[in-house]
Structure 1
Amino acid sequence: MTMRASSSPDETAEARFRSLVAGYRPLANVPDEFIGADGRPRSHWVKFFHALSELGAAEIDRRFATADRNIRDTGVSYRAYGDTSERAWPLSHLPLLIEADEWRAIAAGVTQRARLLEAVVSDIYGPATLVENGDLPAAAVTGCADFLPQLQGLKPPSGNFLFLYAADIGRGPDGSWWVIGDRTQAPSGAGYALANRLVQSRAFPALYRDMNVERLAPFFQAFRDGLIGAASHADPRICLLTPGPYNETYFEQAYLARYLGFLLVEGGDLTMRDNEINVRTIAGLKRADVIWRRIDSDFADPLELNARSRLGVPGLVEALRAGGVVMANGLGSGVLEAPVMMSFLPRLCRRILGEDLLMPNVATWWCGQPRERERVLARPDRMAIAGAFGNPVLGYPANQAIVGASLTGDEKQRLRAEIDRRGVDFVGQEVVNLSTTPVWENGRLEPRPFVLRVYAARTRDGWAIMPGGFCRISGRPDARAVSMGEGVRSADVWVLADGPVEHVTLLPTDETVRIRRVMGHLPSRAADNLFWLGRYLERAEATLRLIRCLAGRLIETDTAGNARSAIERIVRLFIAWGTVPAKASAEVMHLAATGLHSNKEFGSALALVRDAHRAASFIRERLSTDTWRLIEQLRMGLDRDEDASLTEAEAFERANAALETIAAIAGLAQENMNRGAGWHFVQMGRRIERAINTCRFARHFAHPEAPVEELDILLDLIDSPITYRSRYMMGVALGPVRDMAVLDPFNPRSVAFQVEKLNGHIAELPVLAEDGMLEAPRRLALQLAADISTTLADKLDINRTLAFENALLALAEAIAARYFLQGPHVARADTASGLA
């Protein structure tokens, strides 16, 4: 009997590889990254897919799921334009692969372009010789909304406009790379490229290592060092100026600020004094040396630029004129992004650098010139028509090119008439079909068009190119442009080195680095949000404790007599707190569901957790990944149907689960959060809110006629039944319960305990003047601590408890007035002590 030999491991691996790539077909007449122009797979992709196929289908799916989970857990997100809520970041599971030789050519082309654009923008706002000599028509500059005549003659303090430049590139029909667009205003996406890399390298660590992927950390280190070198002071304070948490890429801005160690600020955090820009901090005004802006130039200064702006800093332009701050990128640099510029860059490159463009841009003809206008009008069906200055065409969205062949007859007539009337507003561009890269689609490989954004950073030694970039992949096979909208994904970009790559991090290794144990001065806005994060979490906890108490009483009792009266008292407190509507249903369990999950009531647990989530989103760069994940988990766990019927046990379990998550958040802050000013403000928010709520609990459930059932509720709410019974052999009595809730300094949930901790936190905060005088928060806290510690238990009644509650509210107001941004009420430091 003849035996058939079993398949060898190599044969099995080869079969898996062939199964993986079977059926992959590039789009007709479109370059593809996997399949070369000769119809054969490229060797580096073959190596990648061989290694991937060796994992097996089940393991590949598990790794992809790991990557998706990592995206969710770390909170990587974005907003599409017009979105009111964030979306999870859409990561493509396969990276884009580029070989070392090809990347060197890309890097050379992008470096040359960065040098060229720096020279052009410096001339535009400087001597203007390009316009004077006729190399660049004046209308091509002044017609752009991003040209700021107010900055004419302003020389940047560092001598440079561009610190971070990005080029959107794609393969042309000849297989070479072309520049599709320039990003000089405030290039986005670098942070997402970094997030993509961290996720992919964790999902496929061995594959990432074996493919010799170039690291991204050296680029970011060089960029950071370049900004440090541009400052006029040693150990500069670098700020990332954000439009705020509702911006489409706010996650990225917070992510980069945390990764690079920059201070994330909004316009309201900054002020101009004595021709310098300063950050408003809890310790007064502190000089900002470098501002990396992520807002458009026009919005940077409402005094000299756009008066409607609420994002900028009044007086910023004057500070730039005086050399009081370095701006990256320089204001007005967005003029280089106008499509009209592309029509002149080939000639300008020869004129300025004496070189041809190493990487050509899409052929562009500006209709503000007679010969070019006639060329566009002669063959509109073979061109894409775009606004010369990013202006809309035929009512289509701004910055969107319209393919002439896709227009109706009436639209073509309208377009011709508009170009004849005002040709300066239009450019014609060669139609570019983007090349494709493999994506994983429903368990198989499919080609999809992509755009690659490549970054160049100014460093002390010239321009550095990120070895990788921000790759956007269309969800449609016929896309001609890709933005982060519906169906678009982003891929990690692997530049494959010729040999093993050294591991690099942003952690300093120089032994001369000055030791520092504090994180610098806390901006007032950040302190405000940290304080309210603590308060909202504590409010949510108090509400959840009440709901758990209510459900527990319904489980344990027959709701007769005093028990029923106690339940009614809980419901009245719900109404007073806005947890349930004033005309609430008489069905108690419906009230519990409303209190947990209502979208309408401002005091529901869900509403309070959403408030906490919003406060946390404003300071995301200051929160650990674990903390953010728990806050997200808390919000999602409470976001349920409030009209669904709940049993007492279900309400109890849901409230208990949410309380456990809040306890985990508090535990992380207690055990892992650096004991800087930020930690003090979180703790102050929790302590002051807990003390206020305990006063209210005591007034509500420890009134003079309170039956045992209501006193038991108060003990439950302050987590003290066991302590009470071990301390008092007799039954529950009014005086001891009041003492334990309000005056007992050893009970971690008493008012006295919170006030003692508040006093300590306030004492650790900086003062504006070293004159020996107590500031208002400290004075009020000391006075309240003295009042509580000297109150006798038998003199404690509802009125006295109410007085403590009002004193706590006054203390909260004093903290806000002293430390937070309050318009004309902001506490100011004098020049001598406030500037550094």
Structure 2
Amino acid sequence: MTPPPGSAHETPSQRIARWTAGYRPHAGVPDEFMDDQGRVKGAWPRVLDRLGAMDESEIGARFASAERHIRDAGVSYRIYGDQRDHAWPLGSMPLVIEEDEWRSLSEGIVERAGLMEWVLSDIYGAGSLVAQGLLPAAAVAGSPEFLRPLHGVAPPGGRWLKLYAADIGRGPDGRWRVLADRTQSPSGPGYALENRLVLTRAFPDLYTDLHVERLASFFQAFREGLAVGAQRSDPRICLLTSGPMSSTYVEQAALARYLGLLLVEGDDLVTQDGVLHVRTVSGLKRADVLWRRIDSDYMDPLELNPASRLGVPGLVEALRGGHLVVGNMPGSGILESGALSPYLGGIARHVLGHGLSLPGPRSWWCGDPDALAHVRDHLDGLTLRPVATPGKGMARDAILGPHALEAERERLVSALRDRPFDFVAEEAAPLSTTPGWERGPGGLRLVPRPFVMRVFAAATPEGWRVMPGGFCRISERPDVAPIEMRAGIKSADVWVLSNRPVESVSLIQQGAPRVRRIAGHLPSRAADNLFWFGRYVERAEIVIRLVIAHLGSVGDAVVADLAGDAKAPTALRIRALLDEWGAISAPDLPTVAIAREALCGRKTHGSALAHGLSARDNAASLRERLSSEAWRVLTDLRDALDHDDGEARSEAELLGLAERALSHIAALSGLAGENMNRTAGWHFVDLGRRIERAINTSALAVRFAGDEAGAEDLAVMLSLCDSHITYGARYMHGVALDPVRDMVLLDAFNPRSVAFQIEAIVRHLDELPALRADGLPEPHRRLALQLRAEFSTGEAVDFESATLARLEASFESLADAIAGRYFPNGPHALRPEKLMGLA
């Protein structure tokens, strides 16, 4: 009796036969899995044997585990023009290549990378290619990526390219060919690393048994190559990002974390006397190397694009002086221009003495009259595309294939007549395919899917080194080319299978570095985000506690006036405060609506959800400093609170939701308290929470521990400060004004009191760097000391309503003073570099 498809009773051979039974390569299209005779190719039998040993439920469970890890770790990307984060779409089958074939492919990549380096040095140097007619002058000077201010600038260390990438696939003859060169700021190595991390967790035995080549040594060599040319022996290496709105920001943060780089934005940097520095909370610190992940012309608004808000004024001057290493050098994006591709073969024969072993498709630049005539005569069999990088040419959205609609054809033919130099034509050929899973009525099966593989080469002290793997994009539809990550496109790990066991190397191993206990200097922007991360988490917590109190749950009891009478004085005060803080749209809503809006409101800027999302936005700017556990808790907090405003919920359900959200916030506090090193970053996170708690507790005391406070008010005050149990253990009788004030304001042993917060604030400020050399306290520290003196010497009776209101304002002033001292608050802010010497 034949076992049902997908069951555990299938034998491995039956399972493999079912998976491959209907697999047929497309006619005339090279396929990685099967030849045109129906025989499985290369190393795929080894992979199928190992997968076939697992039933489909186990395979599904392992990939479900991988998807959970992607969600928990926040691995995501953004589609251009879309501000939403999309979970990283990891495909369920790798691209498999044998070691011998990979070795040959790597040699071609190294050859091509070396040629690209030579061409760049000639374009920005001697100009012999143009002088000898090997490259049209118009193709160079007419490119928006040719940056004239970089002409004649010699890159420190002699390298224009630190990282080269090529998008490759198989041509009609089955040989690998380069579909596009990536020299601007190649993306993808971080996602290749994430793919490997995720699948290694899900299938650790497969990597070992199949002898999959490891990636760690490539990244170690790449980091060493970045430092080549730096003037200092222990250089500070920064990764320049455009910020959290970048489509690949998560990748950039992951790379910064793995490689031990300082993730910076343009506002974090400043040039002084021709040297680049990072703005840190300790003052300016020299930056020696910059790995850029923004386009070249945005690097320097003084000499390149004056509209740029992403770069650093004076950066090109720092390059001229030889004080800065940049990878890749500004201007290197010119090699991505389609206008150059038709001439690379001739340049290779001139420079190397032979043609490229990894050529591209035949192409014609329409700025050449002879090429234009050929293109017009053979337009039906060619693909027409813009020569410029998308977004930078007049024809940036123009792509014409052999099957284009007539209206599109007419539009592009007209554009080709008016501006032919904007276009390059290529011979049309479908992308090669690789297997992917598809679920049908009989269970899983393998089907051919189009793919593009990006391969990376790093310039290292020993020469070019190719990553033994890559970043692969696979389309779920045969008629959609996977030229970029978007809907319907998945990524895949690339497995280079060795014939012998490979050395197991940690992905984060960095050799044997010099021992150090300080992680490095904290950029001012990062300190700002850490500070506000702490404040937003605390704001979310106090809104949740107000909702719990409003629902009548105070301590271990229920206050009847709150639970049964929405118009009781204490209930009205809670509603008024929630309204004042922007957590609700109106104070006269029903109790359930008040609780739902304050917890889950997306249209109210002060709801717990809004503060949780703000904390998550700040955390997104700190991805390289945030643990996966912390991100998972933030995601859980968002998911707990993110509900439709109009969704009907009972008071009991809302109370349960609020309590679950509080537990997530407690988990965040625990992670910060137990897992964060006591460096400047931790000080700013905790400083933000302490200051926000002091502000909030002072504001709460004005409303619930003021001169006219009743018993219900005081009970709520204790609940909001999580001090009911301590109060009950200390006082045998009911609540009274002075004891409550003492406990929530002045008790230095109560971790929720204002006095406790100000003591912690002073300790944090003592640990942070001071800029004054005269021994006098800086303004923000002087204000903190004054507040500490008032709380350490005061008595409960002194803190009447007017005093409490003044103290609330004083803590707000302290927060502003700290921001003015440490954070990048605009062109007129007091900058550290104005106060102290450089380091």
Q: Structure 2 length as normaliser, TM-score?
A: 0.95
Q: Distance in 1 between matches of 2:718 and 2:511?
A: 56
- Is the 8 Å Cα contact of residues 744 and 754 (structure 2) preserved in structure 1? yes
Q: Which of 560, 567, 572 matches 2:576?
A: 572
Q: Which moved more, 1:747-756 or 1:99-108?
A: 99-108
Identity of aligned residues (%): 52
Match of 1:402 among 378, 400, 403: 400
**1:323 counterpart residue number:** 322
CA drift of 1:131 comes to 0.8
Q: Supply the distance in 1 between the matched residues of 2:59 and 2:514 (Cα, whole angstroms).
A: 46
Superposed CA offset, 1:354-396 (max 9, x none): 2320111111111222222211111111111112334789997
Q: Is the 8 A contact 1:769 1:829 kept in 2?
A: no
Question: Is the 1:547–1:655 Cα contact (8 Å) retained in structure 2?
Answer: yes
Distance 1:722 1:481, change over 3 A: closer
Cα 1:59–1:391 shift into 2, 3 Å = closer
Contact 2:258–2:508 (Cα < 8 Å) also in 1: no
The answer for the alignment partner of 1:460 in structure 2 is 461
Letter in 2 for 1:403: G
Deviation string 1:644-689 (CA, Å, 9 cap, x unpaired) is 2222211111111001000000100100011100000000000000
CA distance in 2, matches of 1:591, 1:758: 34
Aligned partners of 1:17 and 1:49 also within 8 Å? yes
1:428 partnered with 2:445: no
Mapped contact 2:239–2:291 kept (Cα < 8 A): yes
Tell me the equivalent position of 1:273: 272
CA 507–294 in structure 1, closer or farther in 2 if over 3 Å, else same: closer
Shift, 1:37, TM fit: 3.9
Residue number among 810, 822, 826 corresponding to 1:819 in the alignment: 822
Distance in 2 between residues matched to 1:88 and 1:479, nearest whole Å: 20
CA contact (8 A) 1:96 1:494 kept: yes
Counterpart CA distance in 1 for 2:668 and 2:126 is: 57
- How far the C-alpha of 1:730 sits from its partner, in A, is 2.1
Q: Distance in 2 between matches of 1:664 and 1:280?
A: 32
CA distance in 1, matches of 2:80, 2:836: 43
Counterpart-to-counterpart distance in 2, 1:560 and 1:238? 62
Q: Which letter maps to 2:214?
A: R
Q: CA deviation at 1:547?
A: 0.5
1:498-534 CA distances to partner (integer Å, 9 max, x unpaired)?
Answer: 21010112555755x3221011110000000000000
Q: 1:777 to 1:438 in 2, by over 3 A?
A: same
**Structure 1 residue 90 displacement after superposition:** 0.5
Separation in 1 of the partners of 2:694 and 2:426?
Answer: 66
Cα distance in 2, alignment partners of residues 507 and 592 from structure 1: 46
User: Is residue 646 from structure 1 mapped to residue 649 from structure 2 by the alignment?
Assistant: yes
SS at match of 1:444: strand
1:478 aligns with 2:479: yes
- Most deviating of 51-60 and 179-188: 51-60
Pair 356,284 (structure 1): closer, same or farther in 2 beyond 3 Å: same
CA distance, structure 1, for counterparts of residue 33 and residue 50 of structure 2: 15
Q: For the Cα contact (< 8 Å) 2:266–2:309, is it kept in 1?
A: yes
1:664-743 superposed matches below 5 A: 664-743=667-746
Q: Distance in 2 between matches of 1:420 and 1:696?
A: 70
Tell me, yes or no, if the aligned pair for 2:387 and 2:393 is still in contact at 8 Å: no
Corresponding position: 1:627 with 2:630: yes
**Aligned equivalents of 1:68 and 1:509: distance in 2?**
28
**Secondary structure class of the residue paired with 1:446:** strand
List runs of 5+ in structure 1 lacking aligned partners: none
CA–CA distance in structure 2, aligned partners of residues 44 and 64 of structure 1: 22
1:421 deviates by 4.1
CA gap 1:481/1:622 in 2 versus in 1, 3 angstroms:
closer
Q: Give distance in 1, aligned partners of 2:105 and 2:349.
A: 19
1:170 aligns with 2:169: yes
Output one character per residue of 1:130-158: Cα deviation in whole Å (capped at 9) or x when no partner: 11111111001011111111211111122
Counterpart for residue 560 of structure 2: 557
Contact 2:240–2:266 (CA<8 Å) still a contact in 1? yes
Q: 8 Å contact 2:433–2:450 — kept in the other structure?
A: yes
CA contact (8 A) 2:89 2:491 kept: yes
**In structure 1, what is the Cα distance between the partners aligned to 2:35 and 2:221?**
34
Q: Distance in 1 between matches of 2:680 and 2:393?
A: 54
Detail structure 1 runs of 4+ shifted over 6 Å in the superposition.
391-396
- The answer to whether 1:439 aligns with 2:436 is yes
Match of 2:276, SS?
A: strand
Contact 2:541 2:662 in 1 (8 A): yes
Q: 1:541 aligns to what?
A: 541
In the aligned structure 1, how far is the partner of 2:564 from the partner of 2:414?
A: 83
Residue in structure 2 matched with residue 637 of structure 1 by the alignment: 640
What is the rounded CA distance, in whole Å, between the counterparts of 1:84 and 1:508 in structure 2? 34
Q: Cα gap change, 1:597/1:468 in structure 2, threshold over 3 Å: closer, same or farther? A: same
- SS of equivalent residue, structure 2 residue 91: coil
Deviations 1:163-218 (A, max 9, x none): 00000000111110010000000000110000001111111111111111000111
Do the aligned residues in 2 keep the contact of 1:473 with 1:482 (CA within 8 Å)? no
Contact 2:266 2:312 (8 Å CA) reproduced:
yes
SS of 1:365's equivalent in the other structure is strand
Give yes or no for the alignment of 1:797 onto 2:800: yes
For 2:832 and 2:610, the matched residues in 1 are separated by: 37
Looking at structure 2, the residues matched to 715 and 497 of structure 1 have their Cα atoms a distance apart, in angstroms, of: 66
Is the Cα contact below 8 Å between 2:575 and 2:587 reproduced in 1?
A: no
Alpha-carbon distance between aligned partners in 1 of 2:414 and 2:643, rounded to the nearest angstrom: 55
The structural deviation recorded for 1:781 is 1.1
AA partner of residue 830 (structure 2) = A
Residue pair 1:474, 1:482 contacting (<8 A) in 2 also: no
Q: What is the aligned length?
A: 826
**SS at 1:344's partner residue?**
helix
1:526 is matched with which residue? 526
The separation in 2 between residues aligned to 1:561 and 1:332, in whole angstroms, is 70
For the aligned residue pairs, the C-alpha RMSD in angstroms reads 2.1
**What is residue 383 of structure 2 aligned with on the other side?**
384
SS in 1 for 2:340: helix
Contact 2:211/2:499 (<8 A) preserved: yes
Question: Structure 2 stretches of 5 or more lacking a match?
Answer: 3-7
1:91 CA displacement: 0.5
Q: Which residue identity does 1:423 align to in structure 2?
A: P
On the 8 A contact 1:231/1:290 being kept in 2, the answer is yes
Structure 2 residue aligned with 1:594: 597
**Distance in 2 between residues matched to 1:194 and 1:731, nearest whole Å:** 60
CA distance in structure 2 between the partners assigned to 1:573 and 1:765 by the alignment: 34
What amino acid does structure 1 have at the position aligned with 2:541? E
Q: Distance in 2 between matches of 1:280 and 1:11?
A: 62
Q: Is the 8 A contact 1:755 1:781 kept in 2?
A: yes
Aligned to 1:516: 516
Distance 2:181 2:629 in 1: 37
CA 1:396/1:300 → structure 2, altered by over 3 Å: closer, same or farther?
closer
Distance (whole Å) between structure 2 residues aligned to residue 814 and residue 462 of structure 1: 51
Cα deviation, residue 553, structure 1 = 4.3
Q: 1:396 to 1:657 in 2, by over 3 A?
A: farther
Shift of 1:793: 2.1
Q: Is the 8 A contact 1:525 1:820 kept in 2?
A: yes
Paired residue type of 2:430: N
Q: What residue in structure 2 maps to residue 187 of structure 1? A: 186
CA contact (8 A) 1:386 1:393 kept: no
For 2:809, the aligned partner's letter is N
Q: Provide Cα deviations, 1:689-737, integer angstroms capped at 9, x if missing partner.
A: 0011011111101122221111100011111111112111222100100
In the alignment, the residues of structure 2 paired with residue 695 and residue 509 of structure 1 have an alpha-carbon distance, to the nearest angstrom, of 48
Counterpart of 2:531, as a letter, is F
C-alpha distance in 2, partners of 1:393/1:730?
75
Matching residue's letter, 1:475 = E
In 2, Cα distance between the equivalents of 1:250 and 1:601? 28
**Structure 2 counterpart of 1:422, one-letter code:** R
Q: In the aligned structure 2, how far is the partner of 1:586 from the partner of 1:407?
A: 56
Amino acid of the residue matched to residue 387 of structure 1?
P
| 8 Å CA contact 1:183, 1:337 repeated in 2 | yes
